[in-house]
Structure 1
């Protein structure tokens, strides 16, 4: 029998509808029995007891809202009768006890990765081409067209054929339907051990503030230092705020061991565009020849650094996909690896739980400081974390930021917090790391890769095509309907947890198997197949 509703914690005073509930439907949750008295859509919440005005709404065992009207037991919880609220948080000084998971069956498991001189292991082997300033974006795109076609990394665009058919039909004064062909390689790869050349463009590097440029340089340095990157070609105009010297200084702070090859092509030094790009092509090709000498070799799962992300979340995110990501995070950490939980606006309401899990007072103090600074910055421009949920989130049951955040925090599992990283800080510690990024999907995944994640797990309830240029992004669906409706973007489905056909533990095992296959290059993610190489640097403004 399929459960129709669920209570997430013994302390909760609301239940979650797992299917559409109608007046007269009965429920028995958390010791409370009764009948639904108003329609409650799947993924939405309903009161388990009579609630008066000003009472706290409890989910996940913590405060996620406050009533603005009386709510009867069995009545739907909506934006008309609750508002955002979180409990106060502070340094607790509590000692957090955690036992690592039993991962014996995984202890001898390996993935086929690219070992770097600094001890990191890549799940792919890329060469980067990127600009120091937006003035060089056009030149980067010229190089992209040349390299991808010549090296066998280009793919046919089925929509080009569709447009050509429409043009022909128009010229013949007769329109016809055209069928799109699947994406396929236009020619075979030239370099066996290179997974691609990645071309980044951005809108920064000059104008703005010096802080913007320094932050951009630190982010680009993280991408060069990334385990999935063998080397990089940098296009610089020469006069921009984001100077190559700042980039090299940022890189020197995080590099360990032998430095990677970095080719710098400065347009104002080289003169003509032709001279600039011919130099870039020649030296980049020579770099690719050397990078191709690095083969995949077996690496322990302790070399995995899992980025934890969510986007297009729904009311099932905190029940199925996010706890599964948390299970995998705990498994990888138990194996000696690392995980990075991002999106600080989506930790609003879960702060105290994370503070209590910090290994040292210094780590919790840094987390509190970064959260407070971010929250104040949002308030100073007339916004706030309470404005984070999108219309899609709200429609699918995430009414307040605290409801959304307490579900989002489940991605971080239960392991102690080993470190807190500000934006662009590179990972230093094994275990669970908290990374200050916006809730914006692409800005956050961009930051996760820049801090060293070599695989990103991305949960979604509504669907999103987001990917990353240097880090594989595995999309994890929260529900069966999404997985069936958007199979071209979903890599893994946790909908069986909602139906009761799957447990979080069994889903975690299957997801880790997929991670090993992706990290070994045996499986390409849907984002990789569709070339969703999204890259948006955060300028440290207010982005929720």
Structure 2
């Protein structure tokens, strides 16, 4: 069900050229023709995605506990129809811990789910063959589900920036912020994360927080995060990358001022720690690192069903269960890396559109993407990035 992997085709072309004693250095590689998926047996299933992690028996129990909640969140995600779990058996994260977290998150969980432990299997072949068979029966079951219309208030939009440049805070981020405000006004939910990139914008967010309890939680999470970074000789001030600095974002405060604009101007309804679900419509703050993949992984865990990802320098980041829409800050990037960019807010810089007009266009794109009318580039490219945060220092 995946899009044709053209790079496998490239390798086969090189192999054939080598067999024929051709000069591979000057071979013109061309992508193979797309596979015809019109005869798919399970037309209501978009595909099978794999979540790989590096957890095992050697990590600390706290990381295993966080990973358990993360995987439970993905199993319960609205875009996920069924789950097959492959486990070794003796690792820190036991399958029963995962099941307990899943039940706590959703007591009424009823998706097809199959669990296999290698240490309880006769052989690897027996384990995999049985897993494939059971997964296939799950596909038969979930294929009976039919897509139904849903109100826009059901949309949970994650907003993210990565590979930011000097234009981020004046084109893409405020445009996405306007989209965020529109969605909130329509009853939807917006998730603003990347706490290291909110350093310097805290007071504005605190002033917009609806109650003192949520404001205190935000302050406590920010303080604990920064203190943990200081203990290893780092800090939020070290978040800007060489690429950020080269393009004008020379301090974390400058970067944060632009990054916070993605959340718009709506009141902050709630503050969530990593993997906590967003239960209140409106703008929510979610504690994640600034790292592209760790942040998108965390947003999906909190319930994001769609992610807007702004970039000025270019990054291909995607997610296995949540479509990631790439928003370019400038027209030059769109021309240079058009294969990964979905929306160009360079029109704002070029004077062709206002922030408000661009924000409305972005919302329209989101509606079409959520409805399946448009497939974002990251999905087409099978950019399924998944990195659990081990709660160590990651900026």
Structure 1 or 2: more helix by fraction: 2
In 2, the alpha carbon distance for the partners of 1:226 and 1:272 equals: 32
Separation in structure 2 between the aligned mates of residue 542 and residue 304 of structure 1, nearest angstrom: 31
Residue equivalent to 2:34 = 184
Alignment counterpart, residue 164 of structure 1, candidates 2, 5, 12: 12
**2:78 corresponding residue in structure 1:** 227
Q: Is the 8 A contact 2:175 2:262 kept in 1?
A: yes
Q: What's 2:317 paired with?
A: 466
Partner deviation per Cα, 1:333-380 (whole Å, 9 max, x = no partner): 111110100100000000000000111000000000000000000000
Contact 1:460 1:475 in 2 (8 A): yes
2:228 equivalent in structure 1: 377
1:86-117 CA deviation, whole Å, 9 max, x = no partner? xxxxxxxxxxxxxxxxxxxxxxxxxxxxxxxx
* Contact 1:154/1:185 (8 A) holds in 2: no
Tell me the alpha carbon deviations over residues 37-76 of structure 1, each in whole angstroms, 9 at most, x when there is no partner: xxxxxxxxxxxxxxxxxxxxxxxxxxxxxxxxxxxxxxxx
Corresponding residue for 2:294?
443
Q: Measure, in 2, the Cα distance between the counterparts of 1:160 and 1:389.
A: 36
Map 1:4-403 to 2 at 5 A: 153-175=1-23, 176-181=26-31, 184-185=34-35, 187=37, 188-255=39-106, 257-403=108-254
CA contact (8 A) 1:157 1:183 kept: no
Provide structure 1 residue ranges, at least 5 long, that are not aligned to the other structure.
1-152
Deviations along 1:356-415, one digit per CA (max 9) or x if unpaired, are: 011100000000000000000000000011110001101111010100011000001011
* Displacement after TM superposition at 1:185 (Å): 2.9
Larger radius of gyration between Structure 1 and Structure 2: 1
Contact 2:165 2:311 in 1 (8 A): yes
Task: Measure how far apart 1:155 and its partner are.
Answer: 3.7
What does the per-residue CA deviation read over 1:1-21, in whole Å, with 9 as the maximum and x for residues that have no partner? xxxxxxxxxxxxxxxxxxxxx
CA contact (8 A) 1:162 1:178 kept: no
The offset of 1:278, in angstroms, is: 1.8
Query: CA contact under 8 A between 1:309 and 1:459: conserved in structure 2?
Result: yes
Task: Kindly state the Cα deviation for residue 256 of structure 1 after the two structures are TM-superposed.
Answer: 5.2
Structure 2 gaps, min length 5: none
Runs of 4+ displaced beyond 6 Å: none
Measure, in 1, the Cα distance between the counterparts of 2:176 and 2:135: 38
What do residues 435-488 of structure 1 show as CA deviations (whole Å, max 9, x unaligned)? 000000000000001111000000000110000000000000001100111110
**Which structure's relative contact order is higher, taking Cα pairs within 8 Å and 6+ residues apart?**
2
Partner of 1:42: none
Distance 1:417 1:328, change over 3 A: same
Q: Is the 8 A contact 2:103 2:109 kept in 1?
A: no
Q: 1:168 to 1:438 in 2, by over 3 A?
A: same
Aligned-partner Cα distance in 2 for 1:324–1:238: 48
| Change beyond 3 A, Cα 1:257–1:164 | closer
Q: Kindly indicate whether the alpha-carbon contact (under 8 Å) linking 2:3 and 2:382 is maintained by their aligned counterparts in 1.
A: no
Distance 1:171 1:289, change over 3 A: closer
**Whole-Å separation in 1 of the counterparts to 2:13 and 2:120:** 45
TM-score (norm 1): 0.70
Count of equivalent residues: 392
CA-CA distance at 1:172 after TM superposition: 3.9
Q: Point out the structure with the larger strand share.
A: 1
RMSD, matched Cα? 1.4
Q: SS in structure 2 opposite 1:469? A: coil
Q: 1:423-444 CA deviation, whole Å, 9 max, x = no partner?
A: 1111111111100000000000
Asked whether the 8 Å contact 1:378–1:385 carries over to 2, the reply is: yes
Verify the 8 A CA contact 1:327 1:504 in the aligned structure 2. Answer: yes
Deviation at residue 183 of structure 1 after TM alignment: 6.8
Q: What SS class does the counterpart of residue 507 from structure 1 fall into? A: helix
1:169-212 CA distances to partner (integer Å, 9 max, x unpaired)?
33444314223216723644221111111111111133110001
